[in-house]
Amino acid sequence: MSGYLKRNWETFPMEKLKRVDLPTTRINKDQIKRKSERQAGFCKAAAGDYGERLQKEMRRFVPKYPISGAIAWMRDNMRPFRDGNMAGSKAPLPNNTQKITRHIKETAYFLRSDAVGVCELPAYSVYSHQFSFKDMDAGERPLKSNHTHAIAVLIDQDDRTNQAFNGNDWISNSMSMMSYATSGFVAITLAEYIRRLGYSAKAHYAPYYDIMLPPILLMAGLGELSRMGDTVLHPFMGPRFKAAVVTTDLPMIPDKPIDFGLQDFCSRCKKCARECPSGAISDGDKIMFNGYEKWPLNVKKCTTMRVGNQHGSGCGTCVKVCPWSKPYTPFHRAVNWTMRNVKFARRFGIWGDDLMGYGKPDNKNKWWFDLEDKNGDGILSIPK
């Protein structure tokens, strides 16, 4: 079971999921062209591809809210530790790849990961060129990786806050930044540990990636591709997480992809498309794009909403309203099992999600203050 054993060392019962040889969405590897990071929505906005207003907003859409700004400050200060020198000799580890895989996963959970998966590093998941919107003067720089494996770690964005916010208010970016920074801490620490064992390792976390996350998360058995475009949906957290990755040459046993019925569910549900404030999520059928079978996403509309939001900080409406974004309680575990295992019940689950009023803000759980640094001068005011 690729290092999974039936004991409660994982946050969620991943060992109970159906494992398959290939992801549930088609990937034609011979048709995939490696992409430059410059093609990502945030990079396009920062470079001015989406207009002057969005280019200006890119400089403030995270720090304009003090919590997300504080987290991003800490996240950025970790950047120098993504990579480093490995020990001069290899540690005397057991001659058992399964034990090593289990050990690495347990280390990631010890560091407070909410989910962990391992896969062989797909060559097509490595960006062809690096482009940082924090250092645009450097331009695009060619990328390559000699690493063989990837360790993906997921961090929950906090269900209680997810219940309380409306999807695109002032706490939205902070939820993302918290999970970005925390997953980054886990990845940086794990990479440094692996280097001390005598193996090469590098951490990748937002916005400092050399790799694209979706193919790695799919192959590492951490979710299926959802209607939200390139978003991988976890069977127990839904889309309510952020991920980081460690690439390494440490030999490990890869996990297999999972199938929990999401392709059928997303083909019926369409709640994220219905509620998306920018209309970026399609309610139509899947397409083939660059070798991937996926639901199309209008990246420009999505980025414009997230970066240009004048009534909040960022946007996570799709995360908020998704029927899979539920607390891990006995009731929701039972519903989750039904959605994963009983095909005909999925249409009733979607109907019931609306009937129960899920996806609406629960104001009694709101704990944050609405504040804005309007002019980038550190002076906070109550947003109008």
Task: Please list the alpha-helical segments (H only) found in the chain.
Answer: 41-47, 52-58, 66-77, 97-110, 159-164, 172-196, 213-219, 262-269, 271-275, 299-308, 317-321, 330-341, 346-355
| Contacts made by residues 139-147, CB under 8 angstroms, sequence distance 24+ | 140/36, 140/37, 140/38, 143/210, 145/121, 145/202, 145/210, 145/211, 145/247, 146/200, 146/249, 147/121, 147/200, 147/201, 147/202, 147/247, 147/248, 147/249
Q: Are strands 380-381 and 372-373 parallel, antiparallel or unpaired?
A: antiparallel
Residue type, 357: G
Confidence (pLDDT) at 9: 63
Find out whether 40 and 302 touch, Cβ atoms under 8 Å: no
Confidence (pLDDT) at 109: 97
- What SS3 state is found at 31? helix
d(CA 73, CA 46): 18
d(CA 320, CA 313): 15
> Distance between the two ends of the chain, CA-based, in angstroms?
54
Closest C-alpha among 61, 67, 63 to residue 46: 61
What's the CA dihedral at 284, 290, 292, 293 to 10 degrees?
A: 30
* Residues 6+ away with beta carbon under 8 Å from 11: 109, 113, 114, 115, 236
Residue 158, Cβ density class (10 Å: 0-12 exposed, 13-18 middle, ≥19 buried): middle
For the beta carbon of residue 175, count every other beta carbon within 10 angstroms.
25
For the beta carbon of residue 179, count every other beta carbon within 10 angstroms.
24
Residue 373 backbone dihedrals phi, psi, to 5 degrees: -90, 95
d(CA 28, CA 288): 9
Residue 357 backbone dihedrals phi, psi, to 5 degrees: 80, 15
Confidence (pLDDT) at 6: 44
| Residues in the chain, pLDDT under 50 | 1-7
Enter the pTM of the model.
0.94
Confidence (pLDDT) at 7: 44
Confidence (pLDDT) at 8: 55
